């Protein structure tokens, strides 16, 4: 099967999951804040959570792009693994909302929400690895002329994902605030890495 | 008419219906649970319902894919049947939410929610059969060179769908918990069947 | 400009507007209904409203399809008219919810909700006419070899739309229940008309 | 990398962000209004806010269209800048809801909501400039045969965007109502400008 319709479906899920995040940005009236401007300012964790999750899904989209360029065809197993992967990606808005609402609460609430966020992103990274390594193992679904260097490059980068998120989840369990900064920094790292080092360089998997 | 724009529209509905499911994943504060971590753990029926419905819509998408590969063109009746089919698919988030919120309630509530879920999936299977058999009857809309073996294979598999879901709905009316496990098992069966037997085999309807 | 990306955007709005309708299907606990099964049964106006609006958007999608097949290119004015048209289509979920929640209330509430629904659909039909006649006037944006019979056929059918919806809106102002049945019947009429007369006939605008 | 999948993703975000706006159109029962018809009439700021934001996103879509026609390829930095741009576009529903609910409240609330709206649109315009000038600087990502006149035309129009929105934001801080009228007028200006001057003229970036 060609991968065209698979990419359309995946892009749909990425776009919707990212755009739905805005529904979690909400003002929550508190005792301290009676004016609207105060409430808007105090909702900053919502905005940060929105930005971090939007960027994270955006990075997943950019990387999925790079992965699919190496892949020539899909079998039913690959479709199913992709559905499982998208299922975890589309789950991200839920823990995002938890973090947005509870990070500035007590320690226990901040911990519970950031750990849930971390577990979701760890699973996302695990499933993304499943998508990639199912396709790449023995060049099962790759283009006949896939560049071995690009393939090894993706493999080498991807294996770090789950461990990084697992590590950040453990950090969040110990110190939720440090964990939350970690999730945000990891997303920013990818954006900046691409912006600085990716400049003037074509997207991965593309021959000049 | 070509089927390209039809597939784009259908993929859009599948992707949105699946991704909207996350809006039903919500914490519901109860008397037993005051801490956030307790609430997150007690919301497990939400996560299971989310996963089962996401996988079910994912399987429908994979199968719709296989069906559309056999179909060469569309007439207005086919478009309308497809709209009716998508109408039922896009309805799935509603009974999913009912089950997520009421499966751990009393017998009557669990019964009402799982039976509603079952009726919705039975109708989905009925409409999917209508889509397929309208196109396949007398090769009305099929490719001139459609493989008769693949066509008979789809026909044989599809007719079981409504009866299986009707059976599970009756089971849910008698024992909601067994019915709920049945819906989940049926979705898992398809995922595993594809993962184990579909491996190294191309997606259906695709010539090598 | 080619019309490809315009159709993708329009199809996205149609698919999302139709799928979002499910968010309006909600159980509203009332004094009469304490059991879940009673609430599920009493929510039937929600299901009917969902179905009527989903079918209406589906019919708009099918007809937009037919229109775009006659159109060869787009200018900026055409893009803007299409954006205005989509703005009205994406508004449909709001009056749908009003009707679902208030049709079984008192006369005044039923009247206010069905008249709002009617005004929205009248505006939708007006904007759809604007889309078509802007493109068709003097063959401005049509294919050089557009079939004049097909073009006249669309023009003749389309001009009835706003008047029909305006008429139904006036009926709804006098008798909301008759008006609501009228909106539902008009949607069903289109589905059945296509199913019975469209069979074995190719979609409009397609040469054999 | 080709820009096809980028446009699909962007169109998805535009379509979803615009269509989600309808979720913000809600009746808010007040002491003055007990009848449904009164509530529907009093919700007019919701309708205006919906229309202004839908048109604004529609105009962004039309302009993004024009921009992408000049662009031949994408590098990773361009993808990331586009993700940041879409992140701000998908944020628009939030301040839209604030304005819809608070413009008819007291001065402070009207000010806080319109200024938040203005800041969001200013950032949108800034990011849209970043998208364009990253691609256009030294013809980095443009088509080899891009028309220099069209490129300069876009550059000249775009630089005004952030300043106009910044100016309107300052106006909104002084007089929220004048600012709100300004945002609406600016959207209408673009629609009318296109409708009157764009007629019979092909969309930008298209050779005859």
Give yes or no for A20 touching B (CB within 8 A): yes
Residues paired with residue B142 on neighbouring β-strands, in sequence order: B71
Residue C6's pLDDT is 87
pLDDT digits (tens, 9 = 90+) for A124-160: 999 999 999 999 988 888 888 888 888 888 888 888 8
The H-assigned helical ranges of chain B are: 4-20, 36-42, 44-70, 76-89, 93-102, 107-136, 148-158, 160-174, 176-197
Question: Which stretch of A185-189, B50-54, B131-135, B179-183 has the lowest confidence by average pLDDT?
Answer: A185-189
Per residue, what are the HEC states of chain A? CCCHHHHHHHHHHHHHHHHHHHHHCCCCCCCCCCCHHHHHHHCHHHHHHHHHHHHHHHHHHHHHHHHHHHECCCEHHHHHHHHHHHHHHCCCHHHHHHHHHHCCCCHHHHHHHHHHHHHHHHHHHHHHHHHHHHHHHHHCCECCCCCHHHHHHHHHHHCHHHHHHHHHHHHHHHCHHHHHHHHHHHHHHHHHHHHHHCCCCECCCCCC
pLDDT-derived band at B201, boundaries 50, 70, 90: very low
Cα separation, C170 vs C118, whole angstroms: 8
| Neighbors of chain B with 3 or more C-beta pairs under 8 Å | A, C
Residue D34 has pLDDT above 70, yes or no: yes
Give yes or no for A58 touching D (CB within 8 A): yes
Give yes or no for D104 touching A (CB within 8 A): no
Interior CA angle at D62 toward D58 and D66, to 5°? 160
Residue C21 has pLDDT above 90, yes or no: yes
Residue with the larger pLDDT of the pair D91 and D33: D91
Q: Per mean pLDDT, which of C63-67, C123-127, C194-198 is the most reliable?
A: C123-127
Give the distance from residue C202's alpha carbon to the nearest chain B alpha carbon, in angstroms.
Answer: 5
Give the distance from residue A190's alpha carbon to the nearest chain D alpha carbon, in angstroms.
Answer: 9
Cα separation, A94 vs B47, whole angstroms: 10
Q: What length is written for chain B?
A: 208
**Sequence-ordered list of residues with C-beta below 8 angstroms from that of B126, at least 6 positions apart, any chain:** B162
Cα separation, C114 vs C120, whole angstroms: 10
Cα separation, A6 vs A23, whole angstroms: 27
Torsion of CA A152, A156, A159, A163, to 10 degrees: 180
Residue C208 has pLDDT above 70, yes or no: no
Give yes or no for A72 touching B (CB within 8 A): no
Mean pLDDT of chain B: 87
Give yes or no for A109 touching B (CB within 8 A): yes
Interior CA angle at A103 toward A97 and A107, to 5°? 135
Residue B156's pLDDT is 87
Angle at which helices C160-174 and C176-197 cross, to 10°:
150
Give the distance from residue B114's alpha carbon to the nearest chain C alpha carbon, in angstroms.
Answer: 11
Neighbours of D34 (CB within 10 A): 9
What percentage of residues in chain A have a pLDDT greater than 70?
Answer: 92
Least Cα distance to C160 among C136, C128, C184, C131 occurs for C128
C chain contacts of residue D58, beta-carbon cutoff 8 Å = 80, 83-84, 86-87
B chain contacts of residue C198, beta-carbon cutoff 8 Å = 75-77, 80
Cα separation, C168 vs C175, whole angstroms: 10
Residue with the larger pLDDT of the pair A150 and D18: D18
Cα separation, A12 vs A5, whole angstroms: 11
Q: Which two tokens stand for residue D1?
A: 């990398």
Residue D50's pLDDT is 94
Mean pLDDT of chain A: 87
What percentage of residues in chain D have a pLDDT greater than 90?
Answer: 51
pLDDT-derived band at B207, boundaries 50, 70, 90: very low
Tell me if B20 and C22 make a contact (CB, 8 A cut-off).
yes
Cα separation, A140 vs C204, whole angstroms: 43
Q: Which two tokens stand for residue D146?
A: 């891009």
Residue with the larger pLDDT of the pair B178 and B138: B178
Residue C56's pLDDT is 92
Mean pLDDT of chain D: 87
Residue B140 has pLDDT above 60, yes or no: yes
3-state secondary structure of D71: strand
φ/ψ of residue D95, rounded to 5: -65, -25
What percentage of residues in chain C have a pLDDT greater than 70?
Answer: 92
Closest Cβ–Cβ partner in D1, D9, D23 for A206: D1
C chain contacts of residue D198, beta-carbon cutoff 8 Å = 75-77, 80
Cβ–Cβ under 8 Å, residues C13 and D15 = yes
Residue C201 has pLDDT above 50, yes or no: no
Longest Cα–Cα distance of chain B, Å, equals 64
pLDDT digits (tens, 9 = 90+) for D127-182: 999 999 999 988 888 888 888 888 888 888 888 889 999 999 999 999 999 999 99
Give the distance from residue C164's alpha carbon to the nearest chain B alpha carbon, in angstroms.
Answer: 21
Mean pLDDT of B9-31: 89
pLDDT digits (tens, 9 = 90+) for A165-177: 999 999 999 999 9
Residue with the larger pLDDT of the pair C122 and B7: C122
Q: Which two tokens stand for residue B20?
A: 């909207």
pLDDT digits (tens, 9 = 90+) for A170-202: 999 999 999 999 999 988 888 887 666 554 444
0.80 surpassed by pTM: yes
Q: What length is written for chain C?
A: 208
Q: Which two tokens stand for residue A33?
A: 């804040």
Residue D69 has pLDDT above 90, yes or no: no
pLDDT digits (tens, 9 = 90+) for D73-106: 888 889 999 999 999 999 999 999 999 989 988 8
Give the Å distances, CA to CA, from C117 to B84, C106, C123, C170, C185.
21, 17, 10, 11, 14
Cα separation, D194 vs B78, whole angstroms: 38
pLDDT-derived band at C191, boundaries 50, 70, 90: confident
Q: Check if the interface score ipTM surpasses 0.95.
A: no
Residue C22 has pLDDT above 60, yes or no: yes
- Which region holds residue B192: left if phi is over 0, alpha if psi is between -120 and 50, else beta? alpha
Cα separation, D44 vs D51, whole angstroms: 11
pLDDT digits (tens, 9 = 90+) for B80-101: 999 999 999 999 999 999 999 8
Mean pLDDT of C126-146: 90
Give yes or no for B191 touching A (CB within 8 A): yes
Mean pLDDT of B43-65: 92
Residue C123 has pLDDT above 70, yes or no: yes
Residue A205's pLDDT is 40
pLDDT digits (tens, 9 = 90+) for A3-43: 778 888 899 999 999 999 999 898 877 777 888 999 999 88
């Amino acid at each position: 099967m060609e991968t065209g319709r698979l990419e359309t479906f995946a892009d749909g899920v990425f776009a919707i999951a990212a755009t739905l995040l805005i529904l979690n940005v909400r003002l929550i009236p508190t005792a301290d804040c009676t004016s609207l401007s105060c409430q808007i300012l105090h909702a900053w964790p919502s905005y940060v959570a929105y930005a971090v999750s939007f960027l994270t899904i955006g990075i997943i989209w950019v990387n999925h792009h790079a992965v699919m360029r190496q892949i020539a065809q899909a079998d039913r197993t690959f479709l199913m693994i992709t559905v499982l992967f998208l299922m975890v990606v589309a789950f991200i808005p839920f823990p995002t909302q938890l973090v947005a609402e509870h990070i500035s609460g007590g320690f226990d609430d901040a911990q519970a929400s950031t750990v849930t966020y971390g577990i979701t992103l760890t699973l996302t990274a695990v499933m993304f690895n499943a998508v990639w390594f199912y396709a790449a193992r023995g060049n099962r679904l790759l283009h006949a002329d896939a560049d071995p260097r690009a393939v090894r490059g993706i493999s080498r980068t991807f294996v770090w994902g789950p461990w990084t998120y697992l590590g950040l989840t453990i950090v969040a369990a110990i110190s939720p605030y440090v964990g939350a900064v970690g999730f945000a920094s990891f997303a920013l790292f990818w954006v900046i890495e691409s912006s600085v080092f990716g400049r003037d360089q074509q997207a991965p998997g593309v021959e000049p």
